[in-house]
Every structure is written in structure tokens, then in C-alpha cells.
Amino acid sequence: MSEEPREKPSNFIRDIILEHNASGRFGGNVITRFPPEPNGYLHIGHAQAISIDFGLAREFGGRCHLRFDDTNPTKESQEYVDSIIDTVRWLGYDWGQHLYYASDYFEQLYAWAVQLIKAGNAYVDDLTQEQISEYRGTLTEPGRESPYRNRSVEENLDLFARMRAGEYDDGTKTLRAKIDMASGNINLRDPVMYRIRKASHHRTGDAWCIYPMYDWAHGQSDSIEGITHSICTLEYEDHRPLYDWYLDQLGVHHPQQIEFARLSVSHIITSKRKLLELVQQGIVSGWDDPRMPTLAGLRRRGYTPEAIRDFTERVGTAKAAKVVDIALLEHCLREDLNRRAERRMAVLRPLKLVIENYPEGQVEAMEAVNNPEDPAAGTRKVPFSRVLYIEQDDFRDPAPPKYFRLSPGAEVRLRYAYIVKCTGVERDSAGQVTTVRGTYDPDSRGGDSRGRRVKGTIHWVSASHSIPAEVRLYDHLFAAPRPDDADDWHTALSPSSLEVVRSARLEPALAGSDRGSRFQFERQGYFCVDERDSSPSQLVFNRSVGLRDTWAKIESKG
């Protein structure tokens, strides 16, 4: 298959790098990094950052580091580190030997802090958290200087050493940068650099009881690694002057920070707090529930890394806040899977169809194309017999206008098999159709209508040869495009985000399908074998995304 080289859309970050390369600013180097905090699962929003960081490095022949900004031991854990590593790798990116942790730089950061103290640019503050907040002022009023702001260098050095030594309790002292309490930029009002936290860190254990704030650690970590382009989201634009200040005071390598608008998608939420609530309240089955916007969830849902990468490229990189329609994400998946997924027949809600003129006991192996988009995928045999199952939706009595499927007296093609004509219906006492009867045309073997006009083609399975399966029909977790706009986001939850169908019957070729394998169930959508709950004896499929359904549109319009 040929990958049509879709031209990458230009964006302002690429333009900036091009300028740097032209001026020789970083000697033509492009070294980026993806810097997650290991305190949660990565979601679709992170995918764009990953794609930009790694993508740009790849495009310009540079490299991208994976660095964990693990500066807050009370919120971080190895579990998250592992899951993030696994996810980034799954997405298809490689950082080579460049796996780093901000915690690896704690000693250097400490030395630099001492350097700032010596230069009179940092001080130990005894104000409580509440007092610091009061002294900071407000958005419109300047702050006030802490009474401890002018301690001597010697005293600060001594106090800071004792903070490190563990002589003080949590929260009793901080190290602060001495910048400008009247700055319009609140980040510059003597930001805290270190806080006391007598907590074990997932990597450094109990070696430290003071931990650097993200703002103090981040820029210097970038500098240590020789990062040239430090790409981040818009909310850090205000922090850039602070990072610049630190770097300039220290006189070390100074990366260029560039900010872009984070990605959000319609019909989902990405708030960590809300996602956690979904999991804890059992509204979803876990962080990898196929309805979750986490990359683990999308993966289990059947999304391919290729589709997600394509999506992140198509949404573009800019500075305007955006909420991309989830339809684009789904389109990317369909486009990818249409090309790659083999087709199979599966009947979700079986309705018995008896071919009255087909010999009892006879079985034919009908040849079916595995993937019309890819001849190399070959063909397979599907057993045909007298008693079949068809989809309940594919029979209607009476038939509505423009309905091309089966109804009394009507003809339809059974895909890859025969043309059949409906001759009768059996109903139970409640009037529900229990069996459809029909006759087949022996001359139409393979589905050849030989010039006849047969508009409808439906899928089927042989009742006795089919195998059972559970199929989970997933839909958007939220019915509303912007769940966060609701007064209470819970009310935006869709009641039909999951429908479990336990009665599905599959063509026998699906038996023993590997976990994670993906198929198109003809006329229905793309499905994958659930990685967690499926087993060879109890197959479980997840619907990744449905096929475009023109008939549903026609019917809903009346």
C-alpha cells in the first residue's frame, strides 16, 4: 500500500524553527522534549503535544527526550511512569537513550539555588502558606514584601542547608526567588522555589525532604538537556518571563519556549478530577474503559496509533483555543481501518431466515473477499446452509419507503451467496417476528444478480456454523458536544454510551481471533477483540466506530 505523502500543513512553530535554522540560532539543532508529570494517564489532548514534540524533532533531524517532571512526590508514582512510557511507545515514538527525570537534577538544582542565594537573588521565607498568599496581592493590586525578604546571604545559606537537613517541619519555610512583588505578572512576585515535604519520592526515596517547584525545575531541566525548543501549552506563556529570569541569572543554556493552544475534542472531558470521578463512581470500568478519552481507553476501543497521529496533524497547531469535532477523530480511524481491516460478517441481533428450497443438510463454502481495498488480503470461505441468521434491522414488515432490504415479497442479495426472496413470516403470540421464510435463486450463486435489479445486499451467517460472541456497542460518553458547558456535567452523560449485545453470531472465520485484532463487520463498523475480557472461548468485541450510515440518515429524516 502506498502512503500518499499528504503535505504537512504549515504552522507557526515550524516557521519559528525555520527562522532559527536560517539565522543559526541553535546551530541548526532541534532538540525537544515531552515533559509529562507522572500523576495520571495520558489523554487525547496529550497526543498532540507528543506529536508536536517528537514530530518536529523527527522532521528536522533532531531528537526528542522523554522527561518526567517528577517534582511533587505526593502526587506521583511509578505506576504512572510505566503507563506513560508504554503509551508514548505505543503511539510510535522513540526517545532512544534520552529518558530523563527532573529528579535526576535535584542536586544540580540545589547547587543553583545556593548560587542564587549567594547572589542575593533568593531567600528563605518563614511566612505560612496563607500569609504568602495574602502578601502576594491580587490581580489588580501589587503584593507586599515578606518581612524575611532581606535576610543576609549567610543566614539564608544556613537556613536553606538546614531545610535540606530536615530540621524544619513541612510548610514552615520556603525558599523564594527575590524578584518583584509589584509585578503585573504574578509569577514574578517572589515565586516559591522550594517547599519542605517530608515525603518519599518514587525515585529518590527519602534522600530529600525539600522539593523544587515545577517552575524552578522545568526551565533548568530543559537547559541541562540542551533543549533548543521548549514547546508547551498556552498557560505557560505567563511563566516564560520567570523561566527566562532564572536562566539569565544562572547564565546557562537558554532554550526558546514556544506556546501553542492545547487540544480539546467535542463530546469528551479531560479534567483529571472529573475523569477520576468517572472511574471512582463506576460510571466507566476504569482508566482504559473504551469510552474514556485516555489514550489507554482509545487503544482498547480499537483506535490505531496511526489514526491518532493523523488526527493530531490534521487539527493543526495554532494559538487559538479550539474544540475539535470528534467526528474528525472518528473519520481518521475509519480512513485508516478501511484500508487495513479485513472484513467479516457478524449478525448482532439475529433473526432466523429459512431458505425453503435449499436442501436440508447441504453446506456450501462461499468465497468472500477479505478486503476490497487490498487485494493482497485474499479471500476466505464462508459456510452457507438452509438456516441462516440475518440482522433484525434487515427485515421490515411492512417496508418503509426506500427500504432496500428484506420484506414480504421483496428480493435481497445475501452477500457473497444468493439472491433470496421473502415468502413468509412467522410471529409469536405477541406479534414479534420469529422467523422469516424465503426461497433462493440457484442461478445467483456468489450473489450474481445477472442483470437483475437487486438494490439491497445484506450480511448473514449460517445458524449452525456461526459462533457466539459478546459485542459491546460504544458511543460517545457524552451526548452534548461540550459537556463542560452544562451546569452539571453529569447531566451531559449519554445514557446510550454502551450497549452490550450478548446474542451476536459470527462467521466461523472469526473463531480464535487474537486479542486486539481489528475487523470491519460488514455494513456495521469497525470492531476489535477486547484486550482485557475476550478469550478464545468467550469472544468479546468492542465497536471502535460505526460505518457511515446513509440509511439511518434517510430514515431519521422521515
- Nearest approach, Cβ of residue 423 and RNA (Å): 20
> Residue 266: how many CA atoms within 13 Å on its side-chain side?
11
Tell how far CA 333 is from the center of its chain.
12
Q: Which stretch binds RNA (CB under 7 A): 109-117, 292-300, 422-430, 456-464?
A: 456-464
Q: From the list 196, 209, 469, 471, which residue makes contact with RNA (rule: CB under 7 A)?
A: 196
Cα separation, 96 vs 328, in Å, equals 32
Tell how far CA 168 is from the center of its chain.
43
Asked if 84 and 38 touch (Cβ cutoff 8 Å), the reply is yes
Cβ within 8 Å of residue 21, ≥6 positions away: 28, 30, 60
**19 near RNA (CB under 7 A):** no
Q: Residue 447 gets which letter from DSSP?
A: G
Asked if 337 and 374 touch (Cβ cutoff 8 Å), the reply is no
**541 near RNA (CB under 7 A):** no
Cα separation, 368 vs 381, in Å, equals 6
Cβ closest to RNA, residue 191 vs residue 305: 191
Reference 109, options 251, 237, 219; nearest CA is 219
First to last CA, the chain: 41
Cα separation, 265 vs 307, in Å, equals 15
Binding letters toward RNA, positions 68-107, x by CB under 7 A: -x-xx--x--------------------------------
Cα separation, 12 vs 18, in Å, equals 10
Q: From the list 187, 285, 392, 517, which residue makes contact with RNA (rule: CB under 7 A)?
A: 187
319 to 338, contacts with RNA by CB under 7 A?
319-325, 327-328, 331, 334-335, 338
Cβ closest to RNA, residue 407 vs residue 542: 407
Cα separation, 122 vs 27, in Å, equals 33
**533 near RNA (CB under 7 A):** no
**448 near RNA (CB under 7 A):** yes
Cβ closest to RNA, residue 5 vs residue 251: 5
Cα separation, 6 vs 335, in Å, equals 14
Q: Cis link prior to 255 (omega < 30° from 0)?
A: no
| Host H or E run for residue 295 | helix 295-301
Cβ closest to RNA, residue 369 vs residue 387: 369
DSSP 303-343: --HHHHHHHHHHT---SS-EEE-HHHHHHHHHHHHHHHPEE
- Nearest approach, Cβ of residue 481 and RNA (Å): 8
Angle (nearest 5°) at CA 318 between 315 and 320: 100
Q: From the list 16, 192, 425, 463, which residue makes contact with RNA (rule: CB under 7 A)?
A: 192
- Nearest approach, Cβ of residue 478 and RNA (Å): 15
Q: Which stretch binds RNA (CB under 7 A): 8-16, 17-25, 77-85, 291-299?
A: 8-16
- Nearest approach, Cβ of residue 108 and RNA (Å): 17
383 to 442, contacts with RNA by CB under 7 A?
402-405, 413, 415-416
Contacts 24+ apart (CB under 8 A), 550-555: 554/402, 555/400
**118 near RNA (CB under 7 A):** no
Q: Which stretch binds RNA (CB under 7 A): 214-222, 461-469, 493-501, 537-545?
A: 214-222
Q: What residues are annotated to the active site?
A: 37, 262, 272
Q: Residue 510 gets which letter from DSSP?
A: G
Q: What three-state secondary structure class fits 534?
A: coil
Q: Residue 532 gets which letter from DSSP?
A: T
35 to 74, contacts with RNA by CB under 7 A?
37, 39, 69, 71-72
- Nearest approach, Cβ of residue 545 and RNA (Å): 10
**467 near RNA (CB under 7 A):** no
Cβ closest to RNA, residue 29 vs residue 323: 323
Cβ closest to RNA, residue 428 vs residue 485: 485
275 to 314, contacts with RNA by CB under 7 A?
314
- Nearest approach, Cβ of residue 533 and RNA (Å): 26
Sheet containing 122-125: order of strands = 122-125, 174-177, 192-196, 210-212
**8 near RNA (CB under 7 A):** no
126 to 165, contacts with RNA by CB under 7 A?
127-129, 132-133, 136-140
- Nearest approach, Cβ of residue 265 and RNA (Å): 9
Cα separation, 15 vs 24, in Å, equals 14
Q: From the list 120, 375, 409, 446, which residue makes contact with RNA (rule: CB under 7 A)?
A: 446
Cβ closest to RNA, residue 188 vs residue 296: 188
- Nearest approach, Cβ of residue 553 and RNA (Å): 6
Torsion of CA 416, 418, 419, 421, to 10 degrees: -130
Binding letters toward RNA, positions 341-380, x by CB under 7 A: --x---------------------------xxx-------
Binding letters toward RNA, positions 239-278, x by CB under 7 A: x---------------------x----x------------
- Nearest approach, Cβ of residue 382 and RNA (Å): 11
Q: Among all chains, which residue has been given the C-alpha cell 449460517?
A: 462
